[in-house]
Amino acid sequence: MKSVFVYCEVENQKVAEISQELLSTGKKLAIKLGCPLEAMVFGSKLDKIKSQVSPFGVDKIYIADDDRLEPYRTLPHASLATHLLKKEDPQIVLFGATSVGRDLAPRLASALNCGLTADTTILDIGDHFVKKEKREYKDLLYAIRPAFGGSIMANIINWDQHPQMATVREGVMKKEIYDKNYKSEIVEVDVNSLVKEEDFVVKIIERHIEESDVNLKEAPIIVAGGYGVGSKENFEHLEELAELLGGEVGGSRAAVDAGFIDHNRQIGQTGTTVRPKLYIAAGISGAIQHTAGMQDASMIISINNDPEAPINRLADYVIQGDLGVVIPKMIKFYKANAK
Amino acid sequence: MRPLKIVVLIKQVPDTRHVGPDAMKPDGTVNRGKLDTVFNPDDLHALELALNLKDRVPGTEITVMTMGPRRAADIIRDSLYRGADNGIMISDKRFGGADTLATSYTLVKAIKKLASFDIIMCGRQAIDGDTAQVGPQCAEKLGIPQVTYVEEVISITNDEVVAKRRLSKGVETVSSPLPCLMTVHGASPACRSKEAKRVMQFKYARTNSEIKRNDEFMKELHAKRPYLTIPEWGVEDIDAEISKIGLSGSPTKVKSVESIVLTASEAKVLSDSDSDIEGMIIELIEHHTIG
């Protein structure tokens, strides 16, 4: 049976978080379909990469190891992946919805003349009846994603131009080791025979990657606190909630100035502008300096003692109450109801 | 250096960022008719980058191109007011329902009809789909390199461009030979305003299908000033294969749509009681906002 394929991003001999999430999700899909899970890893000095990939239950790992493949550039990676996907003919291929995945996947979809769904948050397997053909297609990929600024969820399918490809948002899927001792077959890809000289015409002149783990811009959920949080200690409750929901903690300028939270987590005109799926504003009054940096969030929850706080006008839910009561209750009821 | 030929791919989109109270139908589907249309924000950044290159390299010619319904000619006029030299409208009922694969096929067929180009520019992504796919797909079909997420063009010569890219966790400066395709990031400078003089010059620019049959004034004006006629290309004009355009050329299909949240609805005011907070958490989980 045709396999599920995952394109793994790797830098400095480390498989990216998103790729680990994809491997975990890919394994679940492969089990549902009763097919193998395969991964492709292109980079430099990859002799230790196998031990990072195999435990996710990967049956076969295609490794292309060449100094010219790192850092990522579109054309050489596209040549290698196009060749592999044409030859191996998988049914599903997954990429991260990252700067890399969103650059590579559409180029491949065009080369393979197949469908690609962007920024999915839920993947599943299911059937679909095509009326025009009077035919039921079994075991298709349901690629489910938010659309229209987050106001709807669309289930996108592709029944006739395979492989079925999707990019998946970061931090949405759970990372789960399948079997520490899982045995993978390794296939070394012959880079020189597949990549041409003209694949290297684009040259990287300079590169600055922020090592910081603060990534407010990409966080799907942000729990932000203002001066009303009151202390650095109280911020720990916000951190607990953020971690539980798979999000990040942010703060208003007043909270940063008061020393409750680091400057690199400031949201607003003089900080970062964010557009998360969910923004929880705790003890934030909502000065324009702050709201300018978060008003495009798809959903906003305001927790505030003051019913007249300006931020309440932007909010979808307004909770009138004490943070010290509300936040622990949110944590408790999330734990009780989450699947 | 020699003047450049730049094609900017633009799109008119529903304004999903400002969804009004009537934007959703009672059945939870999007009421496209009630959403205002706007010039896709990233595409305006792409136009600005093209205009900036025109400032630097005199004689550069900018052609904007859009695929869409008749009313999308609005954004071609808007581009002419801001400094674009020409506009091309790709419009035909049979192009409707296209996903990104069919769209890139159609755009590339139209681009190939043009004499030549040095740079294709487009916005990083459109706010109605956020896919960021059409740019790289066009580059692949044209067989040229792509430079995505461009924030700034640092230098340009007759055969090479150096650009700064905005990545999710940093920045990167790359050089690429010409011709190439760039997708432009919203972190780049905002587009300059319309020029009063150009608004006067182009306010009567129309595609032929926009001119009413009995509008003699407009017909005469267009006969006198041919530059006002925005070329309009259909399936036959770009020699497109029917099986590769519109719905039939689109592998991805929408199986179902589920309404998540009425963004414009009034805020729900809750107390800190157990039942209020648990109710909210359950709603958020059911709506896939958290989970």
> DSSP string covering A125-164, please?
EEEEEETTTTEEEEEEEEEEEEETTTTEEEEEE-SSSSSE
Q: What Rg, from alpha-carbon coordinates, does chain A have?
A: 22
Do residues B286 and B194 both lie within one domain? Answer: no
A42: nearest Cα among A62, A14, A56, A18:
A62
pLDDT at B36: 86
The pLDDT tens digits of the residues spanning B90-100 come to 999 999 999 99
- Inter-chain CB proximity B267 and A337 less than 8 Å: no
The pLDDT tens digits of the residues spanning A187-220 come to 999 999 999 999 999 999 999 987 656 778 788 9
In a domain, residue B21? The reply is yes
Do residues B78 and B39 both lie within one domain? Answer: yes
Read off the CATH number of the domain in which B230 is found.
3.40.50.620
pLDDT at A256: 86
Find how far residue A11's CA is from the centre of its chain: 17
A242: nearest Cα among A273, A205, A214:
A214
Arithmetic mean of pLDDT, B114-142: 95
B261 pLDDT more than 60: no
Do residues B160 and B269 both lie within one domain? Answer: no
Question: Which chain A residues have a beta carbon less than 8 Å from that of B167?
Answer: 99, 209
- Inter-chain CB proximity B14 and A316 less than 8 Å: no
The pLDDT tens digits of the residues spanning B171-226 come to 999 999 999 999 999 889 999 999 999 999 999 999 999 999 999 999 999 999 99
A181-195, B46-60, B233-247, B263-277: lowest mean pLDDT where? B263-277
DSSP three-state, residue B202: helix
- The answer to whether B58 and B202 are in contact (CB under 8 A) is no
Question: Which chain B residues have a beta carbon less than 8 Å from that of A142?
Answer: 255
Sorted by where each begins, the domain ranges of chain A are 4-200, 221-337
In chain B, which ranges are E strands?
5-10, 12-14, 37-39, 61-67, 86-90, 119-123, 146-156, 160-167, 170-177, 180-184, 206-207, 229-230, 232-233, 253-259, 268-270
- Of residues B261 and A7, the one with the higher pLDDT is A7
Do residues B158 and B287 both lie within one domain? Answer: no
B118 pLDDT more than 80: yes
Cα–Cα distance, B106 to B241 (Å, whole number) = 9
- ipTM above 0.85 for this complex: yes
Arithmetic mean of pLDDT, A299-318: 92
Do residues B270 and B153 both lie within one domain? Answer: no
Q: Which of A210, A301, A326 sits opposite B169 (nearest CB)?
A: A210
A338 pLDDT more than 90: no
- The answer to whether B102 and B80 are in contact (CB under 8 A) is no
Q: Which of A161, A202, A326 sits opposite B145 (nearest CB)?
A: A202
In a domain, residue B267? The reply is yes
Handedness of CA A78, A83, A85, A86 (dihedral sign): positive
In a domain, residue B118? The reply is yes
Residue ranges of B 198-237 with Cβ closer than 8 A to chain A = none
Phi, psi (rounded to 5 degrees) for B56: -80, -35
Residue ranges of B 245-264 with Cβ closer than 8 A to chain A = 250-263
Do residues B200 and B117 both lie within one domain? Answer: yes
Do residues B208 and B84 both lie within one domain? Answer: yes
Range of the domain at B264: 260-291
B71 pLDDT more than 50: yes
pLDDT at B260: 53
Q: How far apart are the CA of A101 and the nearest CA of chain B, in angstroms?
A: 11
Cα–Cα distance, B184 to B125 (Å, whole number) = 9
In a domain, residue B255? The reply is no
| Helix runs in A171-287, H state only | 191-194, 232-245, 253-257
Domain A221-337 CATH class label: alpha beta
pLDDT at B264: 42
Q: Which residue do the tokens 């003051």 mark?
A: A306
Do residues B268 and B187 both lie within one domain? Answer: no
Cα–Cα distance, A147 to B254 (Å, whole number) = 11
In a domain, residue B53? The reply is yes
In a domain, residue B254? The reply is no
- Of residues A150 and B166, the one with the higher pLDDT is B166
Phi, psi (rounded to 5 degrees) for A44: -125, 140
- Of residues A148 and A151, the one with the higher pLDDT is A148
Name the domain count of chain B: 2
B28 pLDDT more than 60: no
pLDDT at B223: 96
Q: Is A151 exposed, middle or buried (0-12, 13-18, 19+ CB in 10 A)?
A: buried
Q: Is B173 exposed, middle or buried (0-12, 13-18, 19+ CB in 10 A)?
A: middle
Position B262 confidence tier, pLDDT thresholds 50, 70, 90: very low
- DSSP lists the bridge partners of residue B12 as B39
Do residues B92 and B229 both lie within one domain? Answer: yes
Beta-carbon pairs below 8 A across chains A and B: 246
Do residues B204 and B179 both lie within one domain? Answer: yes
By the CB < 8 Å criterion, does B189 face chain A?
no
As a whole number of Å, the end-to-end CA separation of chain A is 31
- Of residues B143 and B18, the one with the higher pLDDT is B143
Q: How far apart are the CA of B145 and the nearest CA of chain A, in angstroms?
A: 7
Mean pLDDT taken over chain A: 92
B288 pLDDT more than 80: yes
- Inter-chain CB proximity A111 and B128 less than 8 Å: no
CA distances in angstroms from B77 to A209, B91, B108, B191, B230, listed in the order given: 40, 15, 22, 15, 9
Do residues B136 and B264 both lie within one domain? Answer: no
Q: How far apart are the CA of A155 and the nearest CA of chain B, in angstroms?
A: 5
Question: Which chain B residues have a beta carbon less than 8 Å from that of A77?
Answer: none
- The answer to whether A15 and A40 are in contact (CB under 8 A) is no
Mean pLDDT taken over chain B: 92
Sheet (strand A92-96) strand order: A116-120, A164-168, A92-96, A4-8, A37-43, A60-65, A185-188
- Top-confidence range, A270-284, A307-321, B67-81: B67-81
Q: What does the block give as tokens for A316?
A: 């979808």
Query: What CATH number does the domain located at A4-200 have?
Result: 3.40.50.620
Q: Which of A78, A107, A317 sits opposite B268 (nearest CB)?
A: A317
A314 pLDDT more than 70: yes
Q: What Rg, from alpha-carbon coordinates, does chain B have?
A: 21
Amino acid at B285: I
Q: Which of A117, A152, A337 sits opposite B257 (nearest CB)?
A: A152
Do residues B175 and B283 both lie within one domain? Answer: no
B27 pLDDT more than 70: no
Cα–Cα distance, B133 to B42 (Å, whole number) = 13
Q: What does the block give as tokens for B219?
A: 């017909």
- Of residues A287 and B53, the one with the higher pLDDT is B53
By the CB < 8 Å criterion, does B140 face chain A?
yes
Q: Tell me whether the CATH fold assigned to A4-200 matches the one assigned to A221-337.
A: yes
